[in-house]
């Protein structure tokens, strides 16, 4: 049994099939990358898994439990956290409070949650800015904050939606190292990424979506040689 199993997942918006018949699994300890051209259905897939959207058809299970009909907070409490592509901070709360709210998820009591929030802020390099209101942070700091809040919920599986977008090369390099570090701590990662070079080097396995369908699934080398993938990315160098 894999940690996350998605079976024949389908979601349409009007006449458009955003996600069509997708099968997907993530094993414990893996880093799995999800790539695909714009509009391939990557974010929709994440929203379905994390409970923000209800699938039309298909089945999702996590740790052997069905996620169907569960709300996002229940899914988060089960140990599946996500970040948002467009960062979603609590703007008028401090950096510390933002992370603290996540930390309440699987801790008992305020002191333990505060401790947990401090640890995460230190590891992600935001501890010095813990007193700043989230709305005053720079974009790259907000990306870190988004990640910190998700990590604070103590997930077993973390869905990362384009956490590298909008970062400069140094920041991208730092973030890649950080993602590797959290995997070493035992957190499994499913990551959507547009920065192909980064996701290729980071992932154990790559899943390629195109027009809502899964067109490839395998090691980065395998996927980058796949004819259908090259066609989908026509002109782009993998």
- List of residues contacting other proteins (CB under 8 A): 50, 52, 71-74, 76-77, 81-82, 84, 88-93, 97, 100-102, 104-106, 110, 113, 149-150, 152-153
Residue 182: CB minimum distance to other proteins, A: 17
3 state DSSP class of 122: helix
When the beta carbons of 148 and 175 are compared against other proteins, the nearer one is 148
CB of 50 to other proteins, least distance (A): 7
Lookup: tokens for 138: 């720079």
Q: What does DSSP assign to residue 237?
A: -
Q: Which is nearer to other proteins, 32 or 152 (CB)?
A: 152
- The residues that bridge with 210 in the sheet, in sequence order, are 213
Nearest approach, Cβ of residue 62 and other proteins (Å): 15
* Cβ closest to other proteins, residue 18 vs residue 150: 150
Q: What tokens were used for 40?
A: 């391939």
Q: In this complex, which beta carbon is closest to other proteins, that of residue 187 or of residue 195? A: 187
Residue 221 burial (CB count, 10 A): 9
Token digits of residue 189: 């990662």
Backbone angles phi, psi at 48, to 5 degrees: -70, -45
């Amino acid at each position: 049994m894999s940690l996350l199993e998605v079976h024949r997942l389908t979601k349409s918006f009007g006449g458009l099939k955003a996600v069509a018949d997708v099968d997907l699994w993530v094993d414990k300890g893996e880093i799995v990358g999800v790539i695909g051209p714009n509009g391939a259905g990557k974010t929709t897939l994440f929203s379905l898994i994390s409970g923000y959207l209800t699938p039309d058809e298909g089945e999702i299970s996590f740790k052997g439990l069905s996620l169907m009909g569960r709300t996002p907070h229940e899914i988060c409490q089960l140990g599946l956290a996500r970040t948002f592509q467009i960062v979603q901070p609590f703007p008028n709360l401090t950096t510390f409070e933002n992370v603290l709210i996540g930390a309440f998820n699987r801790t008992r009591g305020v002191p333990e949650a505060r401790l947990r929030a401090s640890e995460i802020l230190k590891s992600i390099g935001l501890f010095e800015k813990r007193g700043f209101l989230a709305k005053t942070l720079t974009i790259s700091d907000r990306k870190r904050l988004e990640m910190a809040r998700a990590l604070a919920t103590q997930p077993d599986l973390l869905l990362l939606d384009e956490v590298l977008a909008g970062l400069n090369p140094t920041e991208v390099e730092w973030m890649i190292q950080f993602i590797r570090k959290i995997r070493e701590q035992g957190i499994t990662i499913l990551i959507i990424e547009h920065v192909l070079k980064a996701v290729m080097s980071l992932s154990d396995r790559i899943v390629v979506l195109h027009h809502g369908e899964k067109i490839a699934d395998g090691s980065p080398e395998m996927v980058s040689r796949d004819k259908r993938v090259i066609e989908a990315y026509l002109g782009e160098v993998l």
